[in-house]
Amino acid sequence: MKTTIKDVAKLAGVSFKTVSRVINNEASVKPQTVEKVNQAIAQLNYQPNTAARNLASANTYAIGYVYDNPNAYYVINMQNGILAECRNRGYELIIHPCHATSPTLTEEIIKMCKRSQLAGLVLSPPMSEMAGVMDSLDELAIPYVRIVSGSATKRNHRPCVFVHDRDAARNIVEHLIAQGHTRIGFISGDQGHRSTEERKLGYREALTNHGIPLDRELEIDGTYSFESGVKGFKQLRALGDQPTAIFACNDEIASGSLFAARLNGLDVPSQLAIAGFENSPFSLQTWPKLTTAAQPTGEIASQAAATLIEEIQSKRTGRLPSEVAQHTHFHPELVVRESTYIPD
């Protein structure tokens, strides 16, 4: 019924320990033995039992993904990216949606790690910025990789995947400036999220670089939602000196502003240009389509998982991971569409 490592060993005519070695790609197994064992594995359609592996070894074959993001596309893409890497390397993924504001968040994460004996964690924003969470993980020596909006971070001892939101935001706003806009509104995402901060910095940088004075009136506080885009638009229209372009912190906000603008009879982009961020499906399903910055979310996630698993494996095989944490960088790319630009 259930095929175990011993069945494979019997069929291959070796000890079950040798089969274990083959499964784990350990060195010092004769190539022809490897061959024999692999044949037996294939023949019996054998699958190693994860629970047993986890129990027997100190390290386990499961990592966790902790997220709290209202954006379904982002989560799905992240998840798929991590999963792809997990499958490649024979790891399992335990997903853990949570609420960033929960007072018991840290405790909750630790419990999950213990229960499932996770070998490591991928933290996406805003959890990737929470000192309390990181402290606890450090204390328990649970490896984690952070996905960070920005190009650097103070806590450098753990690997990070940096997404250069600031540069991308600057590119978007410079594109708007290149279209002749000088009065450009900004609608932020959730307060306290680093992505919000970075995108705002990029916005300001672009203006400053081109000698356009900053105007606090043009910077609207919002959240990552459609409604926020509607509301932000109204606030900007209520100004005496109205903007001719809006840079919204993500596509959902942008599509809310776009919605409101068209409802108010404004033509986009001739009367008002609007740009988003993220390149989500939303950005393609508005009219006109949204200019945005394309985040390669799946790749970012895969990279994070790869970094994490690499470290776990290196620990397993005894090789020490290099002292300097391994950082990687991604640069969202400007995608110009009809909401900011009309080709001649």
Q: Which is nearer to DNA, 29 or 294 (CB)?
A: 29
Maximum separation of any 2 CA atoms in the chain, in Å? 85
| Least distance between a second copy and beta carbon 245 (Å) | 21
Scanning 53-61, 166-174, 203-211, 297-305 for contacts with a second copy by CB under 8 A, the matching segment is 53-61
- What is the number of H-type helices and E-type strands within the chain? 12, 12
Residue 20 touching DNA (CB under 7 A):
yes
53 close to 62: Cβ distance less than 8 angstroms: no
Please tell me the distance from the alpha carbon of residue 68 to that of residue 114, in angstroms, as a whole number: 20
Site size toward a second copy (CB under 8 A) is: 41
Query: 93 Cβ partners below 8 Å, 6+ apart?
Result: 62, 63, 64, 65, 79, 82, 83, 86
Tokens of 317: 């095989």
Within 57-116, the residues that bind a second copy by CB under 8 A are: 60, 72-73, 75-76, 79-80, 83, 92-95, 97, 111, 114-116
Please name which of 66, 56, 64 lies closest in space to residue 23, comparing C-alpha atoms. 56
| Least distance between DNA and beta carbon 49 (Å) | 4
Within 285-324, the residues that bind DNA by CB under 7 A are: 316
Within 34-53, the residues that bind DNA by CB under 7 A are: 46, 48-49, 52-53
Please tell me the distance from the alpha carbon of residue 20 to that of residue 153, in angstroms, as a whole number: 41
Scanning 148-156, 191-199, 268-276, 282-290 for contacts with a second copy by CB under 8 A, the matching segment is 282-290
Binding mask 78-117 for DNA (x = CB under 7 A): ----------------------------------------
**144-149 β-sheet, strand order:** 92-97, 62-67, 120-123, 144-149, 160-163, 328-330
Within 19-48, the residues that bind a second copy by CB under 8 A are: 45, 47-48
Which of DNA, a second copy, none binds 76 (CB below 5-8 Å, type-dependent)? a second copy
Please tell me the distance from the alpha carbon of residue 81 to that of residue 308, in angstroms, as a whole number: 13
186 close to 246: Cβ distance less than 8 angstroms: yes
The DSSP bridge pattern shows strands 245-248 and 184-187 to be: parallel
The DSSP bridge pattern shows strands 333-335 and 292-294 to be: antiparallel
Binding mask 56-75 for DNA (x = CB under 7 A): xxxx----------------
Please name which of 208, 188, 207 lies closest in space to residue 198, comparing C-alpha atoms. 188
Q: Which is nearer to a second copy, 214 or 284 (CB)?
A: 284
Q: Which residues bind DNA (CB under 7 A)?
A: 2, 4-6, 14-18, 20-21, 23-24, 27-30, 33, 46, 48-49, 52-53, 55-59, 316
Residues forming the site for a second copy (CB under 8 A): 2-3, 45, 47-52, 54-55, 60, 72-73, 75-76, 79-80, 83, 92-95, 97, 111, 114-117, 226, 252, 255-256, 259, 262-263, 281-282, 284-285, 287
